[in-house]
Structure 1
Amino acid sequence: MHADIPRHIAVIDIGKTNAKVVLIDSETRRQIAARNIPNNVRRDGPYPHMDIEMLWGFALDSLRALGAEHGIDGISITTHGACGALLAGDELALPILDYEFDGPDKTAEAYASVRPDFAESLSPKLPGGLNLGAQFFWQAMTFPEQFSRVTALLTYAQYWAWRLTGARASEVTSLGCHTDLWAPARGEFSSLVQLMGWQGLFPPIQPAASVIGTLRPEIAAETGLSLRLPVTCGIHDSNASLLPHLGRHHTPFTVVSTGTWTILMNVGGDTGALDQRRDSLANVDANGRAVPTARFMGGREFDALVPEIAEPGAADIAHVIANDIQALPSFAPGTGPYGARQGHWTTDPASLTPAQRYAAASLYLALMARTCLDLCGLGRSIIVEGPLARNRLFGQALARLAGVPVHASGDSTGTSLGASLLFGGTLPETGGSHAFEPLQAAGLDAYIAKWRERVDQV
């Protein structure tokens, strides 16, 4: 291990559904300990917003406990995208908006006159606040007095880095995730930022892997951690999942980052097939390069489709296929390649056993993932990160549908592990990864063809 890499790295990992603090041993790249909490949206105030003080208290409590038990030598940060803070000095000018709130839709017509073309931003028009630029625009138009006090615009991971260190920075993976704020081909802010006069509000750009600073004295005192503890600038969560794989596979290759969202990123691929009408876009990786990406809310949809977890056996899978039991998109309206469609089953789901629902939902996710590969491009191999790496049927079905090797990451906290690599180093070659055998099941080809025929009907 490189002498400059902290041994015990605490990763503050804030996802849309859950937040956690994970302690990673940088020598073994194994998780030592973890604490987690539901990330519930607050409904009070002027609009639905992130429960920042709850998350802050949880992070500090976790750092204190993990530090006392194991010791902490560095802190890294990763968060979901579509989220940003409006600072007025050292306070928030307005609460940090929940991107699922539809408020920004009310100013969509005015926003359309200033948002960049897809060719410039590679950022599709998305509902609610999923375009961070649309959030900021709505806040500026709806709360002009509060917005006039704004002294800095911070993307989400960098907001937490500021809370810990007092240092402010901008960072490209957070600016490049469907925000409308970034022009990937030029590697600079988009025309929207200039049109709105926001240039001076974004702090200077720093690499995700840079050490933004050390702990504020009061934070060090409250957590019992060292004043000299280094804190990284932070990274967008999908790009954290991508980071361990950069430079390790023959390009193009695809990483499937899973959680609330299922995000397919084709490293080394071409952006030519991206379709802004179907929730495909370019993310920007930690090296500043555009990565063709397509996505859908796979975790959110699976939870809606499968209220009770029961692993399916061969008989359950065979029953679903033989009886043409299918879930059809979309169960997360406005997102994914079929965002305009209303999700439904081909049969009454109440008539299915939990294992049959699990089987049908897993096949649905694999079919949706394969659709996304038509948009972002199919690499020579596919690596599945996060919860879906543990879904055997999903992996087997995707291997059958894609026709290239599909591997499950051996790490259950892909974003956290990836974020720990911001301090340097690489993953060991043996991390428990395994290949999925392509699914073999009677009638599967007809089942696939029927699903595609149904979703392609106008």
Structure 2
Amino acid sequence: MPKTVAAIFDVGKTNKKLFLIDENYNIVYERSARFVETKDEDGDPCENLESLRSSVYDSLNQVFQLKEYDIKAINFSTYGASFVYLDEKGEPLTPLYNYLKEYPEDLKKEFYSTYGGEEKISLETASPILGSLNSGMQFYRLKKEKPEIFARVKYALHLPQYLSYLITGKAVADITSIGCHTQLWDFEKNEYHSWVSIEEFDKKFGKFTPADSSLGTNFQGHNIKVGVGLHDSSAALIPYLANFSTPFILLSTGTWCISLNPFNQEKLTETELKQDCLCYMHYKGKAVKASRIFAGNEHEIQLKRIADHFDRAAYIFKHLKFNPGMVLNLANKITENALLQTDFSINSGFPDRDLNLFKTAEEAYHQLIFDLVKQQVYSLKLILNEGVKRIFVDGGFGKNAIYMHLLATAIPDIEVYASSVSQATAIGTALAINDAWNESPAPTDIIQLKYYSAIQRSTQL
């Protein structure tokens, strides 16, 4: 008898994956693809939209031929922050512009002077000023610079909703995409910001649809449910929301270390925005306060600096064991630690340290992690609120015992866990529409946890 599954597309900037996930949330099939980027009319790199479209259809055609699986539903999660502009026939009118594309300064000034200034818009939309990464600004640019194309736009869909549209033919808008650093959503009024209506953009976003809903569709003779698509950052949070009700923070570590607090709906302050805080919207329509630091990137740069200085291979640090005695000695170096003046919004302070102060590469590396954890605590406290009892650390630093022990020591009143969910984004995307395809309730053992206890409380981080 065929196994009931959901087909989930997880589309990143680099890798595009298709998973088949069974009713117990085991990944039973995986297929991946990578496309060569193309260029837009300005010569800037961008996603190859045609390759992506073809890949979605080709992948589905292939898995629907697999006799051992009965595909009941399809859903999509992708990076957000970019629109696909469709004409009356559903054909893209422009390239999928890269969210890293430089934004014209004169247009930026025109927009903010028209609508009350950067501070006002940022506070009301919970979005730092990020240029093209504010996808609403991309649409504004299209209207101002290419009015003839704008006039032909029937729908402007964020990428997750475009992929859903390819299967359903229905244009929808989703809160996880609209509500994530787009400058489109008024978090206080819980509706599109007034400037969106003035520019008449809201008429082109499709029907506003709950992120956990699905549309009945016939795809090549198969009756299936199709989700509306999710922003990937919101999707990765869903397994945790499904498994834990006690307030927590998810610390997602990679190049960026992003702290996500789905239990803090306090309005963003001007100070928080200036320190790179923002709000996401999770799939149930609630704000998720977030802060971020570029700590993973700093770790890689400083790791290489340490390895070069001590003439050691960088890979040895992956297997370095936690040495509490070394940390205690470092903590007592008052002149190098307590008195170091650091702007944690920029870096941890370690780039300013003289490596000649350290006897060994191991000592220098412990100091690096010591400093990064101090910076991380600063970032966490920006969004930490009363009631949070746990912090889950996933990604690279969750596998680093030195980091995890020091973090647990730095916040002794909060339980600290290394967590892992295999393909969290894809699992979350399937969980969002669980009731549409799965007769069983969502399992409660998806997440693997490892608890870390603090070392001696006298250590001051």
Letter of the 1:15 counterpart: G
SS of 1:23's equivalent in the other structure is strand
Distance in 1 between residues matched to 2:17 and 2:368, nearest whole Å: 27
TM-score of the superposition, structure 1-length normalised? 0.79
SS of 1:7's equivalent in the other structure is strand
For structure 2, the residue ranges without an aligned partner over 5 or more in a row are 305-313, 436-440
- Asked whether 1:120 is paired with 2:124, we answer yes
Q: Give the alignment of 1:14-413 within 5 angstroms.
A: 14-26=11-23, 28-38=24-34, 41-46=37-42, 47-69=44-66, 70-71=68-69, 72-89=71-88, 90-105=90-105, 107-113=107-113, 114=115, 117-126=121-130, 128-214=131-217, 216=219, 220=220, 226-246=221-241, 248-259=243-254, 261-272=256-267, 274=269, 275-297=272-294, 309-310=315-316, 311-314=318-321, 322=330, 338=345, 344=351, 346-347=353-354, 366-378=373-385, 379-403=388-412, 404-413=414-423
TM-score of the superposition, structure 2-length normalised? 0.78
Question: Which residue of the partner structure matches residue 429 of structure 2?
Answer: 419
SS of 1:103's equivalent in the other structure is coil
Structure 1 residues 442 and 252: CA distance shift in structure 2, 3 A: closer
- Please say if residues 185 and 290 of structure 1, whose CA atoms lie closer than 8 Å, have aligned partners that are also in contact: no
Structure 1 residues 38 and 299: CA distance shift in structure 2, 3 A: farther
SS of 1:92's equivalent in the other structure is coil
The percent of aligned pairs where both chains have the same amino acid is 27
- Please say if residues 212 and 284 of structure 2, whose CA atoms lie closer than 8 Å, have aligned partners that are also in contact: no
- 1:418 CA drift (Å): 0.7
Q: Kindly provide the CA deviation profile for residues 436-457 of structure 1, in whole angstroms up to 9, marking residues without a partner as x.
A: 3145499963xx4xxxxxxxxx
- 1:143 CA drift (Å): 2.4
Structure 1 residues 31 and 385: CA distance shift in structure 2, 3 A: farther
- 1:178 CA drift (Å): 1.0
Letter of the 1:158 counterpart: Q
Letter of the 1:29 counterpart: Y
Aligned alpha-carbon RMSD (Å): 3.7
- Please say if residues 312 and 356 of structure 1, whose CA atoms lie closer than 8 Å, have aligned partners that are also in contact: no
For structure 1, the residue ranges without an aligned partner over 5 or more in a row are 1-5, 221-225, 331-336, 449-458
- Please say if residues 154 and 202 of structure 1, whose CA atoms lie closer than 8 Å, have aligned partners that are also in contact: yes
Distance in 1 between residues matched to 2:287 and 2:373, nearest whole Å: 25
- 1:427 CA drift (Å): 4.2
- Please say if residues 176 and 281 of structure 2, whose CA atoms lie closer than 8 Å, have aligned partners that are also in contact: yes
SS of 1:96's equivalent in the other structure is coil
Q: Kindly provide the CA deviation profile for residues 297-326 of structure 1, in whole angstroms up to 9, marking residues without a partner as x.
A: 55555555567654132378977985979x
Distance in 1 between residues matched to 2:323 and 2:51, nearest whole Å: 42
1:428 to 413, 418, 443: 443
SS of 2:132's equivalent in the other structure is coil
Work out which of the two has the higher radius of gyration on C-alpha atoms and give 1 or 2: 2
Distance in 1 between residues matched to 2:273 and 2:105, nearest whole Å: 17
Q: Kindly provide the CA deviation profile for residues 412-441 of structure 1, in whole angstroms up to 9, marking residues without a partner as x.
A: 311111111022265433335223314549
Letter of the 1:178 counterpart: H
Distance in 1 between residues matched to 2:456 and 2:14, nearest whole Å: 34
Distance in 1 between residues matched to 2:362 and 2:143, nearest whole Å: 48
Distance in 1 between residues matched to 2:360 and 2:162, nearest whole Å: 45
- Please say if residues 387 and 412 of structure 1, whose CA atoms lie closer than 8 Å, have aligned partners that are also in contact: no
SS of 1:73's equivalent in the other structure is strand
Distance in 1 between residues matched to 2:273 and 2:32, nearest whole Å: 35
- Please say if residues 17 and 40 of structure 1, whose CA atoms lie closer than 8 Å, have aligned partners that are also in contact: no
Structure 1 residues 343 and 54: CA distance shift in structure 2, 3 A: farther
Structure 1 residues 432 and 273: CA distance shift in structure 2, 3 A: closer
